[in-house]
């Protein structure tokens, strides 16, 4: 994919725009000018400056957080997979792998590139790194599609365990293959290009590849549609369908008026499945929150290139940095839910030990009264709870942890 390239940072999806300030400069062996003379000739944004130091610091922090979190989640899920296999845990394991690819391939490259300012790896490494920088992001997007579809089928199209496992394997295999296919064009369009004025100054860019700006725009839109648009459509369809189905079934149960059904709590949706729904919704929403500003900026560049290039380069850099933080957020969400589950289990266990199964009124044993909360309300609150001044508000996006 070739998106927006700013003047001061390395975009993992650079277009044939203009040279990045953090991505330029290789001295040729036969260059007659001294290094000092060459550097002093370059504009400030093409030399190592405070902006590069900030990038190195921020990406280093993100690297430590992302590596620690994703490695922890990876080994935890791997350990659980060896025991009782869970389809959603398998998909979360693949999502952790995708985040680890971003962590150990993209972030170190950003740090090294900001340190050297120019590209010093040669043409072959330029093409290889261009492939892997997008591969992890494509894989993350496509695994999120798999997770959304898996939740959709789990609620609306339940099947036998064998068929469900087979479908999950097919979806994940397709996600990996599609990620490879979508990343391959990067190998073709990225190459080492010398600066038009400072010929000793080389950079890994996409200059002189696209025959016209229209073709470049089409390629950029195609990449954004696959990495961002397609997951968004699948997410909206899947979870909107789930919510509608939950509402329909719960309304039927309310109309039935059977207290025994109400006492079954969430009926066909167990607590574990609801917890999984909440967690996957938050993971997907975090993905779109992180990547929306950067993709909007990418499209803005092609819509109005002049105003986009006049934007403060620090904002451009910050948008891409914010997008990359998505790889740090998934293990945080996963960890928060697991901590909450353990605490809930401990509270539930202690309550069962303290409370008797029956209550007495005037010495006559009586069963605990059935919950009178309508089934539909209790179900929606269980999936999307949000408290405000003691009152529940139905929140479809961010449940409180």
* Confidence label for 126 from pLDDT (cuts 50, 70 and 90): very high
* pLDDT recorded at residue 93: 92
Tell me how far apart the alpha carbons of residues 276 and 386 are, in angstroms, rounded to a whole number.
Answer: 17
Averaged pLDDT of the chain: 73
Would the pLDDT of 337 be above 90? no
The answer as to whether 137 is a domain residue is yes
261 in a structural domain: yes
Each residue of 134-148: pLDDT tens digit?
Answer: 999 999 999 999 999
Evaluate whether residue 18 is within a structural domain: no
Q: What is the CATH number of the domain that holds 237?
A: 1.20.1070.10
* Per-residue pLDDT at 100: 95
User: Residue 157 domain-assigned?
Assistant: yes
333 versus 104: which is more confidently predicted? 104
Confidence class for position 45, pLDDT limits 50, 70, 90: low
Residue whose C-alpha is closest to residue 400's, from 323, 348, 337, 315: 337
Residue 25 pLDDT greater than 50, yes or no? no
Would 272 be classed as within a structural domain? yes
Residue 400 above 70 pLDDT? no
What's the mean pLDDT in 163-179?
91
How buried is 212 (Cβ within 10 angstroms: 0-12 exposed, 13-18 middle, 19+ buried)? exposed
Which residue segment(s) compose the domain that 58 sits in?
35-347+374-384
Domains contained in the chain, number:
1
**pLDDT tens-place string over residues 242-293:** 888 888 877 766 566 555 544 444 455 566 667 778 888 898 899 999 999 9
Q: Is residue 391 assigned to a domain?
A: no
Q: How confident is the model at residue 223 (pLDDT cuts 50, 70, 90)?
A: very high
Q: What are the φ and ψ backbone dihedral angles of 33, each rounded to 5 degrees?
A: -75, 150
> Does residue 371 have a pLDDT over 70?
no
Say if 352 falls within a structural domain: no
Residue 341: pLDDT band (50, 70, 90) is very low
The pLDDT, as a whole number, for residue 195 is 81
Most confident region among 5-14, 26-35, 88-97, 294-303 by mean pLDDT: 88-97
Q: What does the pLDDT average to over 293-317? A: 81
CA–CA distance, 55 with 63 (Å, rounded to integer)? 12
Instruction: Give the whole-angstrom CA distance, residue 85 versus residue 211.
Output: 50
pLDDT of residue 78: 87
For the chain, the farthest-separated pair of C-alpha atoms sits apart, in whole angstroms, at 103
Evaluate whether residue 396 is within a structural domain: no
Q: What is the pLDDT of residue 319?
A: 87
């Amino acid at each position: 994919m070739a998106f927006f390239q700013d003047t001061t940072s390395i975009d993992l999806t650079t277009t044939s725009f203009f040279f990045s300030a953090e991505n330029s400069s290789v001295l040729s062996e036969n260059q007659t000018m001294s290094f000092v003379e060459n550097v002093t000739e370059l504009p400030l944004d093409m030399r190592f400056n405070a902006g590069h130091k900030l990038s190195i610091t921020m990406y280093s922090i993100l690297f430590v957080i992302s590596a620690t979190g994703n490695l922890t989640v990876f080994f935890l899920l791997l350990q659980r997979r060896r025991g009782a296999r869970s389809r959603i845990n398998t998909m979360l394991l693949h999502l952790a792998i995708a985040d680890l690819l971003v962590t150990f391939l993209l972030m170190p490259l950003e740090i090294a590139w900001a340190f050297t300012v120019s590209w010093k790896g040669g043409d072959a490494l330029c093409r290889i790194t261009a492939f892997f920088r997008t591969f992890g992001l494509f894989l993350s997007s496509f695994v999120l599609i798999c997770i959304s579809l898996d939740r959709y089928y789990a609620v609306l199209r339940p099947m036998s365990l064998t068929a469900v496992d087979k479908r999950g394997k097919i979806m994940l295999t397709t996600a990996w293959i599609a990620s490879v296919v979508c990343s391959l064009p990067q190998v073709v369009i990225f190459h080492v290009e010398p600066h038009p004025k400072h010929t000793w100054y080389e950079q890994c860019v996409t200059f002189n590849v696209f025959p016209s700006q229209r073709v470049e725009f089409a390629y950029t839109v195609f990449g954004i549609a696959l990495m961002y648009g397609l997951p968004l459509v699948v997410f909206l369809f899947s979870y909107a369908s789930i919510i509608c189905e939950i509402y329909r079934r719960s309304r039927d149960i309310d109309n039935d008026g059977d207290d025994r059904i109400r006492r079954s709590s969430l009926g066909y949706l167990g607590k574990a499945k609801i917890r999984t729904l909440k967690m996957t919704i938050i993971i997907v929403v975090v993905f779109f929150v992180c990547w929306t500003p950067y993709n909007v900026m990418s499209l803005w560049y092609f819509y109005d290139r002049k105003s986009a290039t006049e934007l403060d380069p620090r904002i451009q850099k910050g948008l891409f940095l914010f997008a990359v933080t998505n790889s740090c957020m998934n293990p945080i969400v996963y960890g928060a839910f697991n901590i909450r589950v353990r605490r809930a289990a401990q509270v539930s266990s202690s309550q069962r030990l303290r409370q008797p199964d029956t209550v007495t009124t005037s010495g006559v044993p009586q069963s605990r009264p059935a919950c009178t909360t309508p089934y539909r309300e209790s179900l929606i609150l269980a999936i999307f709870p949000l408290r405000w001044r003691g009152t529940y508000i139905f929140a479809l996006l961010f449940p409180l942890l």
